[in-house]
Structure 1
Amino acid sequence: MEGTRKNLAIAQLISRQLTGQITPAEMLELQAWRKEDPDHEALWQQLTDPDHLSERVAQLDQPNNSDAFAQLMQRIYTDGETARQLQEDAEVSSPAAAHWSAKRYSRLRPLLRYAAIILPLLAAVSTGWYFFHFHRAATHPPAVAQQRNRLPQQAPNTVQLLIDDQEAIPLNKTGEQTIRAMDGTIARNDAGSLLYPVNTNRTEGTAVALQQLVTPKGMDYKVVLPDGSRVWVGAATSLRFPAAFTGRERNVELNGEAYFEVAPDAAHPFVVHTSKTAIQVLGTSFNIKAYTGERYERTTLVSGAVKVSAVNSPESKVLQPGQQALSGTGLTLQTADMDAVLAWKKGLFIFRSEPLSGILDELSRWYNVVIVKEAGVDLNAHFTGRIIRSEQLSEILQFLETTGKVRFSQEGQLLRVLPGRP
């Protein structure tokens, strides 16, 4: 029974994370569970993978599985303590799902849907079944999972600063905050910008606290690094950097998308590390898009010059302004559509003959929705348009539907993509 309760508690945390309801305290509890065992981390990576989620949600909704959700709830409610925990989380007076009000059930259904996906896999870990079904995938996790730069989960619509992976500080986009770390580092959060005092006098090799700025889906942020470099950090992104640059290189780690304006310092090259590439610059402006799960990482040069090196091969390319490097199994150079690349920084979506698959990725990150693609959807259908990011999601979906190529159905944070009408 104790195992069941713990599995339920972890399932609730992951479900609340996926539905954007997790609090900072719950986030720390979930992080502690992930650190307990490498298998926990591997399973968390599997459970929060967008493709895996989409597949499992689709399976749950198949006709032959239509009552799987109800069956799971029935099993959960056979444990009185489990029922009590769910009851408290739902803020209802009866432990029986059948007695929930329609309004509360509708509000909780996304969370419980995820619980229905997650609970069986958590139970499988405790019995060893996980290794038979999932261990091959977990043995070689995405390269980004092997970095120290991981995406901790935050409260909804909250940018967070983690110091040495321990102290989580929520940042607001209005007003001012003074941030003091245990090592004495002082930073200032001012109306949507995180500002570090420029410090170039630290002794080389001095230990400094590592900072990690994490943005949620639907929100970007700006940070001025300790060398004076400015970084615009995109949605659903993590940027890791030291409180002061003390080595021969100025190293930062990126998972997601960011635009850099690097302060010149020829004696100390600035290097951005992603899962597939290392981008070395002396002083320049460029954009990097390196989200986990996408086929390519894209480095686009605005001014100056950068050298892009593949992580797993000796191959490297030097970019000129207006060029873009695609990093996948190798490195490829192409001319960049600069307006489209930098649109996010200006609060826009600009699509020029963009495949539906790429558009769905953008919408998922900005509007915090889980995408489920039904059979028959043409993910290679191309679209062209210019849309303000502050528009409601429904407005963008309506624009896409007017083409006749695709249809949508939305239930809370679950967005179903349906084939266009014949």
Structure 2
Amino acid sequence: MKEQDAKDLLKKYVAGNCTEEEKGLLETWYLQYEIKDLPQIAEEDKEEQLDEVFRSLPIHRSPIRVVSLWPRIAAAAMVLIILGSGLYFYRHKLPKEELVRHEHVNDIKPGGNKAILTLADGRNITLDDAANGSIAKQAGVTISKTKDGQLVYEVIASANDDVDAPYSLNTITTPKGGQYQISLPDGSKVWLNAASSLSYPLRFNKKERKVELTGEAYFEVAHNTALPFKVKTANQQVEVLGTHFNVNAYQDEKSAKTTLLEGSVKISQIQSNVSKLLKPGQQAIVTNAISVIDVDTEEAIAWKDNLLMFNEDNLDHIMRMIARWYNVEIVFNDDSLKTELYSGSVSKFANVSHVLKKLEQLGGVRFTIDDRTIKISRN
């Protein structure tokens, strides 16, 4: 890649305007360079600019100023661009043995739109195999799959129908490596993350709109003051009238987390019936109690925006996220690595080797891909 081409791509990267192909090209290119070959810049100038560009960079290890290849290359490159110094990058290929060390002969592709819809009569429909258009009709409701991979429910029955009558449940389940978007009969939209399931009635009754969730989902609830919308998980219930929020309630996580983006929600701990109200920008953490903290909502919904994002997360938690999205098993050969902290983000559409390389570059950890098992060792 020519120096000017690299600088142009780096500008687009910071602005968030790169296509997935351009991101891949840029991230392949940077692996061939080392920071020692970049022109020297005064430390005070670097520090003045680093905070501005740092959040645009891929994974980095805590503390955030630790030396790592790409963050320093990108940061220095961005500083050059911002300062308009006119300097350029010098090429330097990594030693052959270093390149080999980062190679993963086996690789695993990212997940995609995959789910199984279980109808009230027990029939299963594999949505990724189903043709676009109407896929089922039940109790006055048409269920359709759109060309962009969404599941849409449309009520076609007469308004005089008794919707308080016993209703039938549908369940949509995403496997590991799957995700799906659903438009419910009331117009509410749900994004379902990997290894998750959502159960809901074909038609909501006249008292409430209630769904049950395992795993993780992002909700954009259609406003209706007469019908509260409730999301029930194993140990909590979320109640709203109309709002945007994310619920993370995986059974292999120590707590359930609900993050509010707009509107207001009421969180209740089922066993104790204790409840708290959330404001936008807050997150409820539910165990046997409820704690409320201020958070960066962008991090909570990064998965919906096609990013794997970490913020001072331990490696154990990060690898659980990777396991769900790439449908892999995780084996730690050294349990002490589980507590290592990392921050950063990477595209969900990259192969798993790309994610692992970014972590390896920070030092201290080594990944081996064996079929669909990722083994983790101290390097």
Bucket of the pairwise TM-score, normalised by the shorter protein: 0.5 to 0.7
Could you list the runs of 4 or more consecutive aligned residues of structure 1 that deviate by over 6 angstroms after TM superposition? Answer: none
- Structure 1 counterpart of 2:45: none
CA–CA distance in structure 2, aligned partners of residues 376 and 194 of structure 1: 41
**2:114–2:177 CA contact under 8 A, matched in 1:** no
Matches within 5 A, 1:228-267: 228-267=187-226
Unaligned runs of 5+ in 2: 1-105, 107-111
* CA displacement 1:285-324 (0-9 Å, x = unmatched): 1000111121011100000000000011021110000000
CA–CA distance in structure 1, aligned partners of residues 236 and 137 of structure 2: 31
- Structure 2 counterpart of 1:405: 364
- Structure 2 counterpart of 1:381: 340
- Structure 2 counterpart of 1:195: 152
**1:165–1:212 CA contact under 8 A, matched in 2:** no
Percent identical: 36
Is 1:277 aligned to residue 236 of structure 2? Answer: yes
Match of 2:268 among 289, 294, 309: 309
- Give the superposition deviation at 1:357: 1.2
- Structure 2 counterpart of 1:346: 305
- The one-letter amino acid of 2:154's match is P
Query: Secondary structure of 1:248's partner?
Result: coil
- Give the superposition deviation at 1:217: 1.6
CA–CA distance in structure 2, aligned partners of residues 174 and 190 of structure 1: 10
Give RMSD over aligned pairs.
2.1
- Structure 2 counterpart of 1:331: 290
CA–CA distance in structure 1, aligned partners of residues 291 and 228 of structure 2: 23
Is 1:321 aligned to residue 280 of structure 2? Answer: yes
Is 1:372 aligned to residue 300 of structure 2? Answer: no
- Give the superposition deviation at 1:412: 0.9
CA–CA distance in structure 2, aligned partners of residues 335 and 285 of structure 1: 16
* CA displacement 1:337-377 (0-9 Å, x = unmatched): 21211111110112122111110110000000011122343
Unaligned runs of 5+ in 1: 1-106, 108-155
- Give the superposition deviation at 1:386: 1.5
* CA displacement 1:247-288 (0-9 Å, x = unmatched): 411000000111101111111100000001000000101000
Query: Secondary structure of 2:356's partner?
Result: helix
- Give the superposition deviation at 1:157: 7.2
- Give the superposition deviation at 1:246: 1.4
**1:198–1:228 CA contact under 8 A, matched in 2:** no
- The one-letter amino acid of 1:194's match is L
Is 1:162 aligned to residue 118 of structure 2? Answer: yes
- Structure 1 counterpart of 2:132: 176
- Give the superposition deviation at 1:164: 2.3
**1:270–1:282 CA contact under 8 A, matched in 2:** yes
**2:208–2:228 CA contact under 8 A, matched in 1:** yes
Query: Secondary structure of 1:377's partner?
Result: helix
Query: Secondary structure of 1:226's partner?
Result: coil
CA–CA distance in structure 1, aligned partners of residues 287 and 330 of structure 2: 24
CA–CA distance in structure 1, aligned partners of residues 155 and 336 of structure 2: 51
Match of 1:227 among 186, 190, 215: 186
Match of 2:142 among 186, 194, 199: 186
Q: Which of 395-404 and 363-372 deviates more?
A: 395-404
Is 1:299 aligned to residue 299 of structure 2? Answer: no
**1:339–1:350 CA contact under 8 A, matched in 2:** no
**1:377–1:406 CA contact under 8 A, matched in 2:** no
CA–CA distance in structure 1, aligned partners of residues 354 and 130 of structure 2: 27
- Give the superposition deviation at 1:183: 3.9
Higher relative contact order (CA 8 A, sep 6+): 2
CA–CA distance in structure 1, aligned partners of residues 113 and 227 of structure 2: 35
CA–CA distance in structure 1, aligned partners of residues 130 and 349 of structure 2: 18
* CA displacement 1:93-145 (0-9 Å, x = unmatched): xxxxxxxxxxxxxx9xxxxxxxxxxxxxxxxxxxxxxxxxxxxxxxxxxxxxx
CA–CA distance in structure 1, aligned partners of residues 244 and 315 of structure 2: 29
* Closer/same/farther in 2, CA of residues 331 and 212 from structure 1, 3 Å limit: same
Matches within 5 A, 1:35-114: none
- Give the superposition deviation at 1:175: 5.5
> If the length of structure 1 is used for normalisation, what is the TM-score?
0.60
Higher helix share: 1
CA–CA distance in structure 1, aligned partners of residues 180 and 269 of structure 2: 28
- The one-letter amino acid of 2:136's match is R
Query: Secondary structure of 1:378's partner?
Result: helix
CA–CA distance in structure 2, aligned partners of residues 412 and 203 of structure 1: 53
- Give the superposition deviation at 1:213: 0.8
* CA displacement 1:226-260 (0-9 Å, x = unmatched): 11101111111101000100141100000011110
* Closer/same/farther in 2, CA of residues 257 and 184 from structure 1, 3 Å limit: same
**1:381–1:405 CA contact under 8 A, matched in 2:** no
**2:116–2:126 CA contact under 8 A, matched in 1:** yes
CA–CA distance in structure 1, aligned partners of residues 307 and 244 of structure 2: 19
CA–CA distance in structure 1, aligned partners of residues 282 and 364 of structure 2: 32
Higher strand share: 2
- The one-letter amino acid of 2:152's match is L
- Structure 1 counterpart of 2:3: none
CA–CA distance in structure 2, aligned partners of residues 173 and 403 of structure 1: 40
- Give the superposition deviation at 1:184: 4.8
Query: Secondary structure of 1:197's partner?
Result: strand
CA–CA distance in structure 2, aligned partners of residues 220 and 375 of structure 1: 31
